Amino acid sequence: MLRTSPARASLARCLAPLGALWICAATAPASAQPACQPTIAIAETAFSPVIRQKRFWNAKLDVDASRCASASGNFSIGFLRLSETAPDLEFTQPLAWHAGRMDVVVEFAAEEAVGRYWISTIAPCACRGK
């Protein structure tokens, strides 16, 4: 059995918080830049007719990226999928945005419909300099 002296144990108890602080400081980003996000709004949606047992959910999105230094990035749309042959299912579709008006197309089976949809996540972008 390994034994430590009381003085050594006391020193270890005193240094433990210092070690934890050092670990936190070492993992912090060196230069934290402020993060911005584009504003993404779903303007119009429609379902296509059934084509080869598939339907396509089409949406027109307005992307205001005026606060971002980049002209593109990642986001996701959440869906509640309704089905005639399976349980309802919530899922997210990862996508890429670009500034301005853009079209999005998501594939569904012929017996599926969209119960609701929402912008799920938007990845932060570096802020545009002033």
Looking at residue 35, its pLDDT comes to 83
Looking at residue 28, its pLDDT comes to 44
Task: Kindly state whether residue 25 falls inside one of the protein's structural domains.
Answer: no
Task: Kindly state whether residue 5 falls inside one of the protein's structural domains.
Answer: no
Q: What is the CATH number of the domain that holds 45?
A: 2.60.40
φ, ψ for residue 27 (rounded to 5)?
Answer: -95, -5
Residues of the chain scoring pLDDT < 50: 1-2, 11-12, 15, 18-28, 30-31
Task: Kindly state whether residue 27 falls inside one of the protein's structural domains.
Answer: no
Task: Kindly state whether residue 58 falls inside one of the protein's structural domains.
Answer: yes
Task: Kindly state whether residue 8 falls inside one of the protein's structural domains.
Answer: no
Q: In the 8-state DSSP scheme, what is residue 29?
A: -
Range of the domain at 40: 35-126
Looking at residue 16, its pLDDT comes to 52
Contact 103, 58 (CB under 8 A): yes
Looking at residue 23, its pLDDT comes to 43
Domain count, the chain: 1
Residue with token string 């012929």: 110
Looking at residue 22, its pLDDT comes to 41
Task: Kindly state whether residue 89 falls inside one of the protein's structural domains.
Answer: yes
